[in-house]
Amino acid sequence: MPTEALLTQLELLLRQHPQGLTEFDLLRRLQQAQGEGFDTALFRDNLSLFRAHFLLFHALYQLNDQLLQRRQGQLEIHVLRIRLHPWQQGLEGLTRADPLRAYYLDLSQLRETTAEDVETLLGRFWSGYMNDEQRDQALRALGLTEAADSQQIEQSYRRLAMRHHPDRGGDDQTFQRIEKAVRVLRRAL
C-alpha cells in the first residue's frame, strides 16, 4: 500500500513535468530519489520490474482518485505517458472507463504474481508483438493495408503470384516472399 509520502512525491513530479513522463522516466526519478518501493534493485530482473511497475500504477490510480475527489486534476495513465491534466469543472462524470484500474487497485494481483507468471506474460506480449510485426510485413509484401480482408488478401496473392512465378519468368525470391506473406496472413485470419 503506497504511503501518503509516495503519493505526494508522485504528484510533485507530475506537476514539475506538465508535458508528462513515460513510465520509465518516472520509475528512474523515483529510484534516484529513493522513493518507497523503488530501490536500486528495481531493474534487476523481470519480477522486480513487474513489482515496481505494479506499485507505481497502483499509486497512480490512488493518486488519480484523490485528485478527482479534491477537484485538483486528473491523471492520464499509460506506460508511454503519465500526465497530470488540470481539473475541468463539469467533467466529473465524463471520466473514461479504464479497465486496468480495478486490476492495479487489487493488491492481491501483486502478491500472487510469481516470477513464472511474469515470464509467461512477457512471452505472450513478445509473441503477439512479433505476430503483429510479421502481419504488417506480410501486408506490405502483398501491397495491402491493415484493413484488408481475406478476399482482398487472396486476390492480391493470386495477382502477384501469377506475375512473379518463376515458371512465368518471374523472380524466385520475390515469389517466395509472396508465398511466405500469404501463409502468415492465412494463419492470422
Q: What is the set of domains in the chain, with CATH numbers?
A: 4-113 (no CATH), 120-188 (1.10.287.110)
- Cα–Cα separations (whole angstroms), residue 119 to 44, 48, 107, 113, 175: 14, 12, 19, 10, 38
Poorest-confidence range of 102-116, 126-140, 145-159? 126-140
Mapped onto helix, strand or coil, the DSSP state of residue 45 is coil
Q: Grid coordinates 523515483 are at which residue?
A: 30
**Average pLDDT of the chain, as a whole number:** 88
Poorest-confidence range of 82-86, 125-129, 137-141? 125-129
| 25 pLDDT higher than 90 | yes
Poorest-confidence range of 38-52, 145-159, 165-179? 38-52
**What confidence category does residue 135 fall into, taking pLDDT thresholds of 50, 70 and 90?**
confident
| Angstrom distance (rounded) from CA 101 to CA 61 | 7
Residue 171 contacts by C-beta under 8 Å, 6 or more apart in sequence? Answer: 164
Which neighbouring-strand residues pair with 82? 21, 77
CB 161 within 8 A of CB 175: yes
pTM, full prediction? 0.66
Cα–Cα–Cα angle for 125, 85, 29, rounded to 5 degrees: 60
pLDDT per residue as tens digits for the range 37-79: 677 777 788 898 899 999 999 999 999 999 999 999 999 999 8
